[in-house]
Amino acid sequence: MKVLAIADSDSYVKWAAAMLGRMPADWQVSLVIVSTPKRPSRDQLAAALSGSPIAPDDVITLPFDRAVTHVASERADVVLVATIGPLADLVTEAVLDRSDVAPVIVSGVPGIALPARRKALIYRSQARLIVLHSQREVRQFEHIARRNRLPHRFALATLPFLAESVVSGDPTGDVIFAAQAIVPPTRSQRVQMLRSLVSFACRYPHIRVVIKVRAIAGEGQTHAETFDYAGLLRSEFAQVPLNLVVEAGPMADHLRAASALVTVSSTAAIEAVAMGIPTLIIDDFGVSTELINEVFVGSGLLGGTSDLLARDFHTPDEEWLRDNYFHDEAENSWISQIEQLVDANRRGALAPMPRVIRGGGGALRRAWDRKRALGSADHSPLGYLALIIGTPARIVVLGLHSLVLHVLSEQKQHLALEDEAPEIRENSRAADSPR
């Protein structure tokens, strides 16, 4: 079996390399990176590949067109598409168009894939198999696929970069804060989080507090970061405790030296739980789809910055674990499903998967999608034209969408008040009546 993975950003490289490492030893595996503004730096690449069978020198980095031509020419049985959604769509279409014999396309999302979104499947409409990492994820994505009549198959796999054995945390070790690029989203919320970390460091000067980041200044990552923690520390705090530091590097290395992990919603929480490290999911900013932390409801891991300052780190609920990322490995189905698909493909028994294109717009829409996926790595004239036309149009559409949501929310609140009004009036009359 020959498997070739194609990835773009640090988080997808980490996931792809770890997935390749969990495949049978007799499978031939390799990794290609598409050169986009999100591609990992040399240090990020080393961190992403740490613990996997792929060495940095084994990885090929190529521009988009050369990358997909290379993948097609390798005639792999399986192509693991490990990229952001818009690029996954482009890569899959191009690889299938340029392949003499179509490979089996497998895809997925690194880390926590909830909430399940139709968009994630549309971008991967030509993927034969979507790999997910919990029973709950499989249920929710199967529901999305059924509701939208999408023909995807789903397979269960243990998160590939989890420790295979429990390594209990050092009670005197570091407290790791797993930073995220877009969660929490606002500058004020990120400064608020920093204030709590600074307060903790001041209260416990014997404990090293590490703000673990995925990228340092100038490096790309899966999601663009507007307010990076290192910059906010410099601009917002006249003095920073000596025991509070910002560091990059492999998360597994940081966790081996940790006494606890704190985050808003990072997949690092799952890694910490696998290692037996007490964990705290900060809910000061709420629990919502946007914060990607609804999955932790019922986990026993949610808590506030007051818990952080009291060093009250949590352990997970056993029932939640079984449904969320810690199922029995005997339930994993991804290897057997890949084998079945490859066998069927070799026999010519697989019909082509229909490509679903988001929205209309024809060639201009396709140029827009390509420009968004490749960024400055796309030099096509049509891409620049699509960007000029599409950017203001998108701003208008997003503005209208926000307005509609606001109006619907106002209407919902108004209807709720109307429903309560008779009861309020009745209670008022009861209160005014003579006793």
Question: What pLDDT, on the 0 to 100 scale, is given for residue 267?
Answer: 94
Query: Residue 266 burial by CB count (10 A; 0-12/13-18/19+): exposed, middle or buried?
Result: buried
What is the predicted pLDDT for the residue at 363? 59
pTM of the predicted structure, to 2 decimals: 0.83
Instruction: State residue 293's pLDDT score.
Output: 95
Together in a domain, 155 and 243: no
Q: According to the model, what pLDDT value does residue 339 have?
A: 98
Domain holding 78: CATH number?
3.40.50.2000
In this prediction, residues 276-290 reach a mean pLDDT of: 95
Domain boundary among 313, 346, 379: 346
For residue 175, what pLDDT band results from cuts at 50, 70 and 90? Answer: very high
Residues 91 and 227 in one domain: no
- Residue 94: pLDDT band (50, 70, 90) is very high
184-190-194 Cα angle (round to 5): 130
* pLDDT of the residue at 172: 85
Last residue of a domain, one of 292, 323, 354: 323
Residue 127 and residue 61 share a domain: yes
Pair 39, 151 in one domain: yes
| Tokens 């020198």, located at residue | 57
Residues 181 and 247 in one domain: yes
DSSP string, 184-241: S-SHHHHHHHHHHHHHHHHH-TTS-EEEE-S--TT---SS--SS-HHHHHHHH-S---
Least confident of 14-23, 157-166, 319-328, 411-420: 411-420
Sorted by sequence, the CB contacts under 8 Å of residue 246 that are 6+ apart come out as: 210, 211, 213, 229, 230, 233
Structure-model confidence comparison of residues 321 and 181, the more confident one: 321
Task: Report the pLDDT averaged over residues 137-164.
Answer: 94
Percent of the chain with pLDDT over 70: 79
269 neighbors 296 (Cβ within 8 angstroms)? yes
Average pLDDT for 87-106 = 95
Tell me, yes or no, whether 336 lies in a domain: yes
340 shares a domain with 403:
no
pLDDT of res. 389 = 55
Residue 386 and residue 335 share a domain: no
Quote the strand ranges of 2-87, DSSP E: 2-7, 28-34, 60-62, 78-82
The total of other beta-carbon atoms located within 10 Å of residue 213's CB is 22
Asked whether residue 34 falls in the same domain as residue 144, the answer is yes
Residue 156 lies in a domain: yes
- Tens-digit pLDDT profile for residues 126-135: 999 999 999 9
Amino acid 182: pLDDT:
87
Instruction: Report the candidate in 46, 45, 109, 106 with the shortest Cα–Cα distance to residue 81.
Output: 106
Range of the domain at 419: 362-432
9 and 157 both lie in a single domain: yes
What pLDDT score was predicted for residue 216?
66
Question: What domain count does the chain have?
Answer: 3
Predicted local confidence at residue 415, as pLDDT: 46
pLDDT of residue 5: 98
Instruction: Give the whole-number percent of the chain exceeding pLDDT 90.
Output: 70
Lowest mean pLDDT among 77-86, 161-170, 239-248, 293-302: 161-170
* Nearest one of 124, 68, 122, 62 to 94, comparing CA atoms: 68
Residue pLDDT, tens place only, 394-425: 444 445 444 444 444 455 444 444 444 444 34
Are 384 and 368 within one domain? yes
pLDDT(427) > 50: no
Do residues 189 and 264 touch, judged by C-beta distance below 8 A?
Answer: no
Give the pLDDT confidence score for residue 433 in this predicted structure.
44
Domain co-membership, 300 together with 368: no
Checking if the pLDDT of 284 tops 80, the result is: yes
Give, in order, the Cα–Cα distances in Å from 278 to each of 24, 242, 260. 32, 24, 5
Residue 170 — very low, low, confident or very high, per pLDDT cuts 50/70/90?
Answer: confident
DSSP 291-331: TT-GGGTTSS-EE-HHHHHTT--B---HHHHHHTT---GGG
At 154 the three-state DSSP class reads: strand
Q: Is residue 357 part of a domain?
A: no
In a domain? residue 94 = yes
Query: pLDDT tens digit string along 207-234?
Result: 999 999 976 665 455 555 678 899 999 9
Residues 192/193/194/196 CA torsion (nearest 10 deg): 90
pLDDT at position 356 is 84
What would the mean pLDDT of 353-382 be, rounded to a whole number? 66
Task: State which of 323, 354, 381 marks the end of a domain.
Answer: 323
Range 227-243 average pLDDT: 92
Q: Are strands 2-7 and 78-82 parallel, antiparallel or unpaired?
A: parallel
pLDDT band for 375, please (50, 70, 90 cuts): low
* Residue 259: its H or E element: strand 258-263
More confident site: 360 or 355: 355
Q: How far is CA 68 from CA 204, 372, 412, in A?
A: 52, 18, 48
Q: How far apart are CA 344 and CA 339, in angstroms?
A: 9
- Has residue 356 been placed in a domain? no
- At 37, the pLDDT band (50, 70, 90 cuts) reads confident
Residue 338 lies in a domain: yes
Is 167 part of any domain?
A: no
The CA distance from 177 to 279, in Å, is: 10
In order of 10, 60, 137, 161, 281, the CA distances from 15 in angstroms are: 9, 16, 17, 7, 22
Flag whether 353 is in a domain: no
Are both 219 and 302 inside the same structural domain? Answer: yes
| Three-point CA angle 20, 69, 378, nearest 5° | 100
